[in-house]
Amino acid sequence: MSSAIAPAALNDFGKQHVTNGLGRITEGVITKGNGSYVEYLDGKKMLDFTCGIGVTNLGHCHPKVSKAAADQCMNIVHAQCSIAFHEPYLRLIEKLLPAMPHPSLDSFFFWNSGSEAVEGAIKMARALTGRQNIISMQGAYHGRTFGAMAVTKSKTIYSDGVAPLMPGVFSIPFPFWHQHGLPPSAPDSVLTLQSLYQLDLLLSQQTSPQDTAAIIVEPVLGEGGYVPAPKEFLEGLRSICDQHGILLIADEVQSGFGRTGNWFFIEESGVKPDILLMAKGLANGFPLSGVVSRKELTDKLKPGSLGGTYAGNAVSCAAACAVADAFREENIMANVQARSRELFAFLTELKDDQTLASYILDVRGRGLMVAMEFASSEAPGAAFDPTTPKGLTVKKGMASRVAKKCIEKGMLLLTTSVYEVVRFIPPLNISQEDMKKGCDIFAQSVREVVREN
Ligand SMILES: Cc1ncc(COP(=O)(O)O)c(C=O)c1O
């Protein structure tokens, strides 16, 4: 690439000219990615436990995926979806059909981002039911566009100062112990009852069933703290939706595509969503999202009501076909299970360590979508929460201090939620050796932060 700015000056150039609306967790310029590692312009190499926020599930630049995309680039790049079908689009559907959590999910629309998929689902739900209101979950993250932002309830930063948002949105607590003022040990059955009770009340007091188009749920609450929904809760949502003709939208943008050890987490519950959303890992880094529903429903949509210039791009679809093949050929799900067992064993041992016990509240997740939550007396609602540990003197921001230490030691790690949570989303094909390396860096970082407290 020929240019006038010296490589060493690029970071400062970025700070000068890239919008301040973007936040970043590291300084520097990434130049390369290979498997579980990324490299920076200054030569720094980092173990990537973020996967670009749950995207590069097969590692960076997986050779089969990159080759499929490169080959497609020499064939056709932009075969616009409202002009004609293109082959990678249809081949992708052929490969995804057997991975659907229910055979009724047989009608596909591909877009670019997760937020767009959420917008598409809301639009479909309103058009198909003739109703306006949408119920989402407290703690949910669905994206940054206006409809997606309206159903997002994880942090106020996403919509601070930009109201009015899309109207007609209501929310109920997710079956997450924090949201009910219960301890981490609260059983799923109790959490489920509390959340379904609130849903029942909501449908009687705030949005009547005949005005409610859809309930949107992340089967694993992502940005809200990495909390898998109990099977009973998803079953309860299904049953209430069936009772009232409300559509159930499962947003598996983050939890889908092998992340939890199944193609989609909702598979574990046996619950059938009316609309399933996917993105992120679907094309391992190429922009692609999917909105999947039943043909019987989508046949009612007016042609032209869905679309988008780049929707279902041919290069992204070709990459996604290679992702689906690689999952099957390389037995990725078995690796997820094996590495997940190691990660949980390691985190549980850390939690049980007497010198750390008062600092660690919870270890949770599924597959390789795993979180550790640290104790904090300053968490939102702590003053009113009977489960807040008494006499605790942990300094604020333990999760971000731990993540920062990990970065200093050569590993990228993200925090999540309004609580003190770090999230582990390593590549699904990570080696045993790199998993151990990541765990060692994490343990050292936690111990150092506790010592410095
Ligand atoms: C569950 C979920 N839905 C939707 C989105 C939005 O996706 P995107 O950032 O591609 O717009 C995200 C992104 O993190 C997500 O985790």
Domain span(s) for CATH 3.40.640.10 in the chain: 65-329
Sign of CA dihedral 426, 428, 433, 439: positive
Q: In angstroms, what is the span from residue 254 Cα to ligand 1's centroid?
A: 7
Q: In angstroms, what is the span from residue 77 Cα to ligand 1's centroid?
A: 25
State which ligand 1 atom lies nearest to the alpha carbon of 115: 11
- CA–CA gap between residue 50 and residue 26 (Å, rounded): 12
Q: In angstroms, what is the span from residue 279 Cα to ligand 1's centroid?
A: 8
Q: In angstroms, what is the span from residue 390 Cα to ligand 1's centroid?
A: 36
- CA–CA gap between residue 52 and residue 65 (Å, rounded): 16
- CA–CA gap between residue 330 and residue 76 (Å, rounded): 28
Residue positions counted in the chain? 453
Instruction: Give the residue whose CA is nearest to atom 8 of ligand 1.
Output: 114
State which ligand 1 atom lies nearest to the alpha carbon of 143: 6
Q: Is the CB of 423 under 6 A from ligand 1?
A: no
Q: Is the CB of 113 under 6 A from ligand 1?
A: yes
Residue 416: enclosing H or E segment and its boundaries? strand 414-416
Q: Is the CB of 259 under 6 A from ligand 1?
A: no
Domain span(s) for CATH 3.90.1150.10 in the chain: 7-58+331-452
8 A C-beta contact, residue 50 and residue 413: yes
Q: In angstroms, what is the span from residue 250 Cα to ligand 1's centroid?
A: 12
Cβ neighbours of 440 (radius 10 Å): 13
8 A C-beta contact, residue 10 and residue 41: yes
Retrieve residue 129's tokens: 């039911």
- CA–CA gap between residue 359 and residue 260 (Å, rounded): 26
Q: In what order do the strands lie in the sheet with 275-278?
A: 107-111, 289-293, 275-278, 247-251, 212-217, 133-137, 169-172
Instruction: Give the residue whose CA is nearest to atom 4 of ligand 1.
Output: 142
- CA–CA gap between residue 317 and residue 290 (Å, rounded): 11
* Sequential pLDDT tens for the chain (453 residues): 678 999 999 999 999 999 999 999 999 999 999 999 999 999 999 999 999 999 999 999 999 999 999 999 999 999 999 999 999 999 999 999 999 999 999 999 999 999 999 999 999 999 999 999 999 999 999 999 999 999 999 999 999 999 999 999 999 999 999 999 999 999 999 999 999 999 999 999 999 999 999 999 999 999 999 999 999 999 999 999 999 999 999 999 999 999 999 999 999 999 999 999 999 999 999 999 999 999 999 999 999 999 999 999 999 999 999 999 999 999 999 999 999 999 999 999 999 999 998 899 999 999 999 999 999 888 888 777 776 666 666 778 999 999 999 999 999 999 999 999 999 999 999 999 999 999 999 999 999 999 997
Beta bridge partners of 136: 171
Q: On the CB side of 108, how many CA atoms lie within 13 Å of its CA?
A: 25
Q: Is the CB of 141 under 6 A from ligand 1?
A: yes
Q: Is the CB of 152 under 6 A from ligand 1?
A: no
Identify the residue whose tokens are 């436990």.
49
CATH number belonging to the domain at 65-329, selected among 3.40.920.10, 3.40.50.1370, 3.90.340.10, 3.40.640.10: 3.40.640.10
Greatest alpha-carbon pair distance for the chain in Å reads 65
Q: In angstroms, what is the span from residue 210 Cα to ligand 1's centroid?
A: 29
CATH number belonging to the domain at 7-58+331-452, selected among 2.20.140.10, 3.90.650.10, 3.30.470.10, 3.90.1150.10: 3.90.1150.10
Coil, helix or strand for 415? Answer: strand
Q: In angstroms, what is the span from residue 42 Cα to ligand 1's centroid?
A: 30
- Give the pTM: 0.97
- CA–CA gap between residue 216 and residue 291 (Å, rounded): 13
Q: Is the CB of 115 under 6 A from ligand 1?
A: yes
